[in-house]
């Protein structure tokens, strides 16, 4: 990935560090030679001002990213690669299904390096690349076909215990930022054309997320025998995660843990949201389903962490005055660098930007 940009004003000047590294594939699209690519990239960077965002092409790209962030939610990247300390819950007076789930979670903790190794990690920084493709909205329940062309980009994820994270994503000529300071989550685009979107924080650590789940059975995922953990979020959690313009009516998550390795190999998420509109039109409902395959586990400083994955988002929109529409998006991500215990990373870094 490209991390440095040459200084085009002075040959003897130092190179500029890119805020978000870009993958070679994205860099190659700027021209046929290295010099031309850097010049075109510099021109593109200088064009990222509010007056340029009236362009239909750029506006379309921004709407694509807005769709992923505001309807589907933040990319699943922070959830899949976060390391955090785990909550301990007693198994006494629990059902067999709940006790089994707690045992599977403990096996997952051991498979990822064990509690001492996880407790030794206080913060992390991750660099990676991502590819996103999607379909157009199709009316009715007909099958949708994802476009063959993919948009490539890069991302940087900062994380600090407990529950602090910030994700910067640069893709399709757009930069989008999302994060949480532990009290609320926020999302914003670099063009400042839309206000910051704020909401309650979302749980990110795998072990903590499934600590209240139940084991509902077994399933083979990619030739792996897996246990299935299921969690139905309670009304209090749904109310806490709802916003002023939308309500979460239903939210269920499933985790598929390998019986052989103990690792999480797939994560599914299903949500039903009611989005408030004008009284004349009535509410519009969004139903999202996510299937995320997690793979390429590798040890970094004693912690076994996933280095790649693929997520398929399916979105349905319907309501009294809205025709049924369906859309599908595919996201593939891969980690390039992982660093733990970043020096000087303070909680103030995760505060939402000023409006």
Q: Name the burial class of residue 92, with classes exposed (0-12), middle (13-18) and buried (19+) by CB atoms within 10 angstroms of its CB.
A: exposed
Helix, strand, coil % (nearest 5) of the chain? 25, 45, 35
**160: its two tokens:** 């600090």
In angstroms, rounded to a whole number, what is the distance separating the alpha carbons of residues 99 and 121?
Answer: 27
How many CB atoms within 10 Å of residue 9? 7
In angstroms, rounded to a whole number, what is the distance separating the alpha carbons of residues 255 and 230?
Answer: 7
- CB environment 294-327: b (16+ within 10 A), e (fewer): beebeebeebbbbbbbebebbbebebeeeeebbb
Higher pLDDT, 262 or 354: 262
Backbone φ and ψ for 296, nearest 5 degrees, come out as 55, 50
Residue 254 pLDDT > 90: yes
Q: How confident is the model at residue 79 (pLDDT cuts 50, 70, 90)?
A: very low
User: 21-38, pLDDT tens digit by residue?
Assistant: 766 666 666 666 666 666
Residue range 254-272: mean pLDDT, rounded: 94
Q: What is the pLDDT of residue 144?
A: 59
Higher pLDDT, 24 or 295: 295
In angstroms, rounded to a whole number, what is the distance separating the alpha carbons of residues 315 and 8?
Answer: 44
Q: Residues of the chain with pLDDT > 70: what percent?
A: 61
How many CB atoms within 10 Å of residue 258? 20
Residue 210 pLDDT > 50: yes
Q: How confident is the model at residue 104 (pLDDT cuts 50, 70, 90)?
A: very high
- Mean of per-residue pLDDT scores for the chain: 76
Total-model pTM: 0.78
User: 149-178, pLDDT tens digit by residue?
Assistant: 677 888 888 888 877 888 888 876 677 788
């Amino acid at each position: 990935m490209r991390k440095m940009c040459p200084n085009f004003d002075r040959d003897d000047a130092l190179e500029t560090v890119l805020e978000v590294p870009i993958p070679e594939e994205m860099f190659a699209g700027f021209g046929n030679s290295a010099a031309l690519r850097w010049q075109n990239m510099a021109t593109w960077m200088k064009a990222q001002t509010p007056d340029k965002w009236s362009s239909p092409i750029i506006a379309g790209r921004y709407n694509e990213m807005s769709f992923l962030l505001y309807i589907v939610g933040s990319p699943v990247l922070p959830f899949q690669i976060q390391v955090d300390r785990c909550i301990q819950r007693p198994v006494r007076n629990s059902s067999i299904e709940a006790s089994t789930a707690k045992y599977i979670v403990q096996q997952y903790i051991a498979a990822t390096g064990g509690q001492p190794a996880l407790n030794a990690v206080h913060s992390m920084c991750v660099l990676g690349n991502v590819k996103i493709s999607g379909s157009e909205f199709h009316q009715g329940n007909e099958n949708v076909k994802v476009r063959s062309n993919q948009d490539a980009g890069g991302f940087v994820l900062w994380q600090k215990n407990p529950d602090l994270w910030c994700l910067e994503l640069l893709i399709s000529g757009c930069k989008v930022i999302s994060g949480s300071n532990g009290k609320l989550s926020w999302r914003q685009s670099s063009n400042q054309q839309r206000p910051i979107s704020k909401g309650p924080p979302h749980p990110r650590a795998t072990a903590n997320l499934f600590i209240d789940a139940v084991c509902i059975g077994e399933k083979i995922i990619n030739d792996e025998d897996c246990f299935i953990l299921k969690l139905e979020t309670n009304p209090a959690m749904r109310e806490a995660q709802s916003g002023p313009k939308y309500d979460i009516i239903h939210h269920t998550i499933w985790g598929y843990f390998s019986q052989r390795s103990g690792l999480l190999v797939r994560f599914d998420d299903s949500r039903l949201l009611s989005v408030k509109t004008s009284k004349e039109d009535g509410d519009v409902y969004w139903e999202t389903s996510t299937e995320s395959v997690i793979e390429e586990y590798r040890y970094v400083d004693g912690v076994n962490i996933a280095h790649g994955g693929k997520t398929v988002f399916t979105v349905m929109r319907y309501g009294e005055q809205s025709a049924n529409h369906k859309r599908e998006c595919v996201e593939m991500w891969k980690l390039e660098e992982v660093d733990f215990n970043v020096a000087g990373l303070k909680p103030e870094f995760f505060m939402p930007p000023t409006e």
